[in-house]
Amino acid sequence: MPGPVLWSDLGRRPYVDVWRLQRALVEPLKRGEGPDRLLLVEHEPVVTLGRSAEEEHVLVGRAGLTERGIELHRVERGGDVTYHGPGQLVGYPILDLRRHRKDVRWYSESLTEVMVRALARLGVVATARGGRDTGVWLADTRSREKIGMLGVRVERWVAYHGFALNISADLTPFDLIVPCGLPGVTTTSAEAALGRDVPMSEARQAVVAAFADVFGVVLQRADSSQLEAVA
C-alpha cells in the first residue's frame, strides 16, 4: 500500500503561482523522493489552454479576456480550454504513479470517480461519460450540463495538473470560451444543481474523503506554509 498523501488547502491563489509550485514538487518525485501530495485551491480568474486547445475556442480573444481581468495561459496538461475562478475547487494531485498503478487511463478514470463521489457526498448526482465527453456531468438531465473538468500531465510516471469542480462559481465567464472545446456544453455548479449554498469547506472535505476512498490511501493534512519555500 502506498504511503500517506499529504493534502494542503492553498486558499485563493493566482494560477501561475500554483503552476510553478506543482512543477517544483514534480521534480523530486521523478527521482523517487518526497511524498505524494494533493493541493486544493481556488484560482483568481484565468483561462487555460491544454495541449489540444485551439485559441479560437476563446471566443473573445486574448484582448477580450484582458479587458475583463482574466489571465490566459497555455499549459502542458491534456485537454482543451477551461476557465478557473473563485468558487471553483481545483485539485492538483502530484503523485508518483509507480507507487500506485502505472496506467494513465486508470489514473484519469480514478480522478473522474473522485469528482463523482465528492459530488455525491454534497448531494449532487453526477456521472462520467466516454469519448470526448471527459469530466463529470449531471446525471439527472439529458442536457449537456458539465460540472467537473479534467486535465492531467504525466512525466516519467509522475502526474500533476488535475481536476476542477464548480461549487459556487460565477458561471458567466464560461460563456467567453467553448468549454473543453465542446460546442453546446452548459456549465453548471453544485449550488445551481442543489439550489442551496455549498460552503467551500464542505466541498474540500468531500474531495479529501472521496480521494482517500478511490485511491485507497490515507490523507494527512499539511500546512500550506511548508510549501512556500519549494517554488
pLDDT over threshold 90, residue 129:
no
Residues 44, 55: Cα–Cα separation, whole Å: 20
Give the residue numbers annotated as catalytic, written as ranges.
180
Share of the chain above pLDDT 90, in %: 84
What average pLDDT does this structure show over 75-90? 95
Domain, as residue range, for 98: 5-227
H helices present in the chain, as ranges: 15-30, 61-67, 104-122, 190-194, 200-215
- Helices 200-215 and 104-122: crossing angle in degrees, nearest 10, is 140
Number of domains within the chain: 1
b/e sequence 7-16, b meaning 16+ C-beta within 10 Å: bbbbeebebe
CATH number at residue 44: 3.30.930.10
Confidence class for position 143, pLDDT limits 50, 70, 90: low
pLDDT over threshold 90, residue 122:
yes
Residues 151, 93: Cα–Cα separation, whole Å: 11
Backbone angles phi, psi at 151, to 5 degrees: -165, 115
- How crowded is residue 177: how many other Cβ atoms within 10 Å of its Cβ? 24
pLDDT over threshold 70, residue 142:
no
